[in-house]
Chains A and B, each alone.
Chain A
């Protein structure tokens, strides 16, 4: 056979072989892991609350993040294991000790077609640091984070070319990639044209979902952004439905009216886990719940001339030894929490595991005695004829029922080692007001939780470095020095070692009574495929599919 004939025959044979498979692949329904899916479906997710706004500058708390991060993206993205991965920036690196360079992703556009480029980043940095707002003709907003106050060493930012930005600092800033890189970015031209107020109505971002409708306190509807640069959503629509009541969320899931619910209470998680039509999944969160104690010196608050009763670290450590965390996690959380003796969340970068605080009431009493608080009448401990008291402020119903139950249990545990505890329940706003005014009594304390919008643990150990709402036990000079060293150390390994050392020392210095770190439970229908909860404040629906 001549070569042309062989080629012709090959072509015919190839055509005959390939035709059925082409037809088959054209007809084959889209599938995930061999399971046919419905790409035109709407994924309905029940959340506990609606966001009050969509402008990232106004705060990135746990409720807001769930909405904002569907529409907006940041330079640094996070994978399902909580590791930083390229987002709108392809890479980031320190050029020298005082300069970071971000190489931006090319070809990305906002939902309205506006290109994402270096000008976008510079505009967002201007907003974050409240610079050049008049030049842009936009207003300032009451911001959740005052970047110019927290990071005053960030001095300027400049465009190298359309896809490269440099940020210059006055001192080494090894975590700059994190605290600036995780902030969601809004469009420049669109915001200037429509005003910052419009970011709170129907904004456009670069994210995987386009906002279609926002019926406040009810639902937010999104459509897949077909021009998305990354892992595309596998359902056409997404609906974030607000169902505040946990029992109603679960009822809606069981009735098949929603596909996925968040914040499943621990007891319900056990029950739902036995239902063959549902799946329960959980992820460790950065939310760390604690009892903060007044360890300020008299010159640092409205003290009436008295130092905080909990100035002595031995007393605070004793209180940590008095808490039976295993019992709390087993009985109240049914395993959906974990103890953590480190000041840094276990899922934050730089976390170093610390020796757990043992539940040891005898050791707690011994430490109290060492600090001068000797056993007295009625099982209380005394010093100079005065009992050790704790006036504990509890923002009831703010962090959920399990938190309130935990605090009640801890109060009894502290009483058992001789601390006289009185609990004052109040609303969260009143607690913040007390802390703002600095009027916590010398024997005062408060129960609260804190989380982080960042990946690096620096956010957690910054708590005791400046006088803030939650800082009632400022670092002593040696710890402050160690902390500041971690902020300036640009060598990655050395910084991690310094952070580990800081965590060990903070664990022993015990600024707070550590209670637990939260695991968040989700339940979903078996129709939902490839949903993995993140360790961040938001859910990620990229790549999530619905079985046909």
Chain B
């Protein structure tokens, strides 16, 4: 287990380094930020002066070596647009705004699907099953920005300001954006659990468990669900990426001051240090969550542990 963890951590370091390196060069291919910082009536000389002030006239390899020297210390440089430390800006927007939103959406989209999926599978072709399938289809096919606006119109305008239309800071502010962000993955997970359960419930060991006289609840939640949950868990780990990118749309609709909106403005604004710091944070998060998912999979399914050992 310790060797496995160590190996995965070494992998993680390389993955994060690879990602930030690729992004370092890619963002510089997208163009020169200096022209975006001056008036449109600026001359080439004025733009060149701005480039020098920002240190962007130095050779690319020098910039990269400086980046490699400073980044491990968390120093990603100053934002080109705000002239503040890029990592500080990223962390300010990540915590608590994006973290709260992503956490609430993850909880909603991973906890709720379990009973919904199980009930749909155990009452196949019943009313609950049909309703769950129809609801899932509806939530998955609805664009999140549209769903968000509809929820605002209903809960903020139609129901006399029951929930706030914008902003952050309280639980009431969190409800609409979290529900909107969770809607599509929640629907997907309900369908995954349902499909997994339908398959697992046909297996011999389930019949054996029932033949042993175990109660239906114990059979379903104690035996069948554990196996049906493996693909669900894998997809949930991967869907973290969806959640983080999904926050970009949701944060715009609900004026949520999170990391998504910071990135939305940093990319077209060619704010290299902010983009790099944000990608670094995303990469670390993504790698960490998937590591946790791998460990959980090993716990749920001993075959995964055997595979890891043999690998």
Contacts and interface: CB of A to CB of B under 8 A. Distances in A.
Nearest to B46: A146
A428 to B, nearest CB: 6
Contact of B36 (A252, A432, A467): A432
A216 B92 contact: yes
Interface in A250-273: 251-252, 254-258
A59 B156 contact: no
A241 B256 CA distance: 11
Contact of B44 (A145, A248, A436, A463): A436
A448 B40 CA distance: 10
B35 A469 contact: yes
A144 B39 contact: yes
Contacts of A58: 37, 83
B31 interface: yes
A59 B37 contact: yes
Contact of B31 (A248, A255, A429): A429
A204 to B, nearest CB: 18
A200 B44 CA distance: 27
Interface in B254-304: 254-255, 257-258, 261-262, 265, 268-270
A272 B265 CA distance: 29
A343 to B, nearest CB: 13
A293 interface: no
B166 A141 contact: no
A242 interface: yes
B40 A251 contact: no
Interface string A138-153: 0011111110011000
B30 interface: yes
B311 interface: no
Nearest to A51: B82
A257 B252 contact: no
Contacts of B22: none
A217 interface: yes
B41 A215 contact: no
B54 interface: yes
B32 interface: yes
Interface stretch (B108-116, B124-132, B157-165, B233-241): B157-165
A380 interface: no
Contact of B161 (A197, A255, A435, A468): A255
Contact of B93 (A140, A197, A217, A435): A217
Given A216-B257, A243-B255, A462-B41, A432 B35 contact: yes
A458 to B, nearest CB: 12
A470 B41 contact: yes
Nearest to A468: B41
Contact of A142 (B31, B32, B37, B257): B37
A59 B254 CA distance: 28
A243 B166 contact: yes
Given A216-B257, A429-B268, A244 B252 contact: yes
Contacts of A241: 166-167, 255
A471 B39 CA distance: 13
B168 interface: yes
Nearest to A254: B157
A3 B156 CA distance: 72
Interface in B8-58: 30-47, 49-50, 53-54
Contacts of B53: 140-142
Contact of B83 (A53, A146, A258, A438): A53
Contacts of B167: 218-219, 241
A140 B54 CA distance: 11
A21 interface: no
B71 interface: no
Contacts of B34: 142, 436
Contacts, number: 154
Q: Which of A46, A146, A248, A462 has the most CB of B within 10 A?
A: A248
A427 interface: yes
B305 interface: no
Nearest to A218: B257
A463 B43 CA distance: 11
Contact of B149 (A216, A247, A433, A462): A247
Contact of B43 (A200, A252, A468): A468
B255 A245 contact: yes
B286 to A, nearest CB: 23
A144 B37 contact: yes
Q: Which of B41, B47, B49, B84 neighbours the largest number of chain A CB atoms within 10 Å of its CB?
A: B41
Interface size class, chain B: 35 or more
Contacts of A422: none
Interface centre among A140, A219, A247, A436 (most CB of B within 10 A): A436
Given A140-B53, A243-B255, A255-B161, A468 B40 contact: yes
Contact of B39 (A59, A215, A436): A59
B84 A200 contact: yes
A217 B82 CA distance: 12
B165 A257 contact: yes
B149 A251 contact: yes
Interface in A32-84: 46, 49, 52-53, 58-59
Contacts of B35: 429, 432-433, 435-436, 469
A257 B261 contact: no
A257 B268 contact: no
Contacts of B46: 146, 149
A143 B35 CA distance: 11
Given A244-B252, A257-B161, A197 B166 contact: no
Q: Identify the interface centre among B49, B93, B160, B166: most chain A CB within 10 Å of its CB.
A: B166
Nearest to B149: A247
Interface in B134-165: 145, 149, 152-153, 156-157, 160-161, 164-165
Contacts of A217: 93, 257-258, 261-262
B89 to A, nearest CB: 8
B82 A145 contact: no
B33 A429 contact: yes
A216 to B, nearest CB: 7
Given A59-B39, A468-B40, A251 B83 contact: no
B269 A200 contact: no
B223 interface: no
A10 interface: no
B39 A200 contact: no
Interface in A125-144: 140-144
A450 interface: yes
A145 B39 contact: yes
B200 interface: no
Nearest to A200: B83
Contacts of A427: 268
Contacts of A218: 167-168, 255, 257
B282 to A, nearest CB: 17
Contacts of A22: none
B58 to A, nearest CB: 15
A433 B44 contact: no
Contact of B255 (A143, A149, A197, A244): A244
7 contacts: A142-B83, A244-B261, A247-B149, A248-B149, A248-B166, A255-B157, A429-B36
Interface of B: 30-47, 49-50, 53-54, 79-84, 89, 92-93, 145, 149, 152-153, 156-157, 160-161, 164-168, 252-255, 257-258, 261-262, 265, 268-270
Given A142-B37, A256-B161, 18 more contacts: A53-B83, A140-B53, A146-B42, A149-B46, A217-B93, A218-B257, A241-B255, A245-B149, A248-B165, A251-B157, A254-B157, A255-B165, A257-B161, A429-B270, A467-B44, A469-B41, A470-B40, A471-B41
**Which 4 pairs show the lowest CB-CB distances between chains A and B?**
A218-B257, A432-B35, A252-B165, A433-B31
